């Protein structure tokens, strides 16, 4: 039987980075290639209703093995990896029985407990790292491998009673589109869990309210040899605007329930510079205040300049799923119990980001988030533990069994 780690190592070999600049769905062809591979695997597992639609959404169902009708539970993961670091030619490295200290990834990169103190808690475990040049792809190919391994385990152990289990793999989650074309009605689950979290024990049903903002600075380009009193360098305007933003309200200075402004990209020239921000706050009122603050800063800079050279375009991305999940407290209670029965201490905490689950919860599918066992997603220092991945599989299996037991 294909093992969890064999699956994971095979999956990360697929280049599935999404691209927000492209309007197609999936945004990149590599996601379609990967989806077709997964489709064949699900067919070989003899799952029912295996469907891959034209937009790259892959769903399937493991049919109930009990006569009693119980709620259908879903498990969801996304196929794309983040655009933040290369996902091409991923070369995973396996560190068995980690004994502490620095882990050499390449001649120039290392994983160090000095920067990542969580490594101190992982001694004795097996780590899968990058080679220091790409991301790993555990976000979210670990989730996919864990879901499929759990399904295969349930098939191989029919004495574990379960109801219908739906699984779904989505494209373009990393660019905020993962739930755009998800067929909630066709998925036909009463609730679901995204398997898209970090360290063992994470259970999340709160996430940021999220918006994005483009601050566009309009300059005037003149040949530098005759530019005096004529040129207006848009990059200088952009630098002035960024200096007006609160320096301590950025991702590197916030944690827990603290929101932030994050300048995450820019396009620059003398004539025009665009600053791309994401704005995050767990409280919807707080997000409203943050958006208003950015608009006020734009107005203040324009007033200082004496003309309208700065504009801001703000759009909302997703909302905090808490209001949609809390009325269904049993979903969290089941996940908590499953973790405890798997000797895991649940760590219920807010997601300092977003998942497909947030959008799906507002589309009528309550969908908290469960750990994968990974760390440092979106960058070259990403790693995951084998033990954490195995724990995730155990929780999925236990959740399926507990749901059947509770409702029979």
User: Which residues are the active-site residues?
Assistant: 80, 173
Sign of the C-alpha dihedral computed for residues 284, 376, 266 and 250 taken in this order: positive
CB 331 within 8 A of CB 191: yes
Q: Are the CB atoms for 293 and 228 separated by under 8 Å?
A: no
Contact yes or no for 336/370 (Cβ under 8 A): no
The C-alpha atoms of residue 67 and residue 65 are separated, in whole angstroms, by 7
**Closest Cα to residue 77, out of 332, 357, 322, 389?**
357
Would you call 370 helix, strand, or coil by DSSP?
Answer: strand
CA count, 13 A, side-chain hemisphere, 160: 21
> Which residues is 210 bridged to in the sheet?
280, 318
Which two three-digit tokens encode residue 139?
């976000």
Distance (Å) of CA 190 to CA 48, 75, 151, 186, 366:
18, 11, 18, 11, 8
């Amino acid at each position: 039987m294909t093992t969890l780690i064999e699956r994971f190592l095979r999956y990360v070999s697929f280049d599935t980075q999404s691209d927000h600049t492209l309007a197609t769905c999936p945004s990149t062809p590599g996601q379609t290639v990967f989806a077709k591979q997964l489709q064949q695997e699900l067919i070989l597992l003899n799952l029912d209703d295996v469907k891959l639609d034209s937009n790259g959404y892959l769903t399937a169902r493991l049919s109930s093995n009990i006569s009693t009708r119980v709620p259908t539970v879903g498990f969801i993961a996304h196929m794309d990896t983040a655009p933040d670091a290369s996902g091409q030619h991923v070369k995973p490295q396996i560190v068995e029985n980690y004994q502490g200290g620095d882990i050499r990834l390449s001649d120039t990169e290392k994983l160090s407990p000095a920067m990542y103190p969580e490594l101190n808690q992982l001694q004795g475990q097996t780590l899968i790292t990058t080679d220091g040049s790409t991301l790993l792809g555990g976000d979210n190919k670990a989730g996919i491998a864990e879901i499929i391994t759990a399904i295969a385990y349930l098939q191989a152990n029919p004495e574990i009673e379960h109801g219908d289990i739906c699984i779904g793999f989505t494209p373009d989650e990393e660019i905020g589109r993962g739930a755009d074309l998800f067929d909630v009605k066709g998925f036909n689950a009463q609730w679901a869990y995204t398997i898209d979290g970090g360290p063992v024990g994470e259970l999340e049903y709160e996430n940021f309210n999220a918006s994005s903002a483009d601050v566009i600075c309009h300059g005037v380009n003149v040949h530098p040899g005759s530019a005096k009193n004529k040129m207006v360098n848009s990059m200088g305007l952009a630098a002035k605007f960024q200096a007006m933003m609160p320096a301590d309200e950025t991702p590197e200075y916030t944690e827990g329930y603290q929101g932030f402004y994050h300048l995450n990209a820019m396009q620059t020239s003398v004539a025009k510079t665009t600053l791309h921000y994401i704005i995050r706050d767990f409280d919807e009122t707080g997000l409203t205040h943050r958006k208003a603050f950015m608009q006020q800063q734009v107005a203040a800079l324009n007033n200082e300049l004496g003309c309208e050279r700065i504009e801001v375009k703000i759009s909302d991305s997703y909302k905090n799923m808490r209001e949609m999940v809390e009325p269904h407290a049993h979903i969290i209670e089941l996940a908590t119990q499953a973790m405890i029965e798997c000797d895991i201490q649940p760590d219920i905490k807010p997601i300092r980001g977003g998942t497909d689950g947030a959008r799906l919860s507002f589309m009528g599918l309550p969908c908290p988030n469960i750990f994968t066992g990974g760390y440092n997603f979106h960058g070259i220092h990403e790693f995951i533990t084998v033990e954490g991945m195995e724990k995730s599989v155990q929780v999925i299996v236990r959740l399926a069994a507990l749901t059947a037991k509770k409702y029979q």
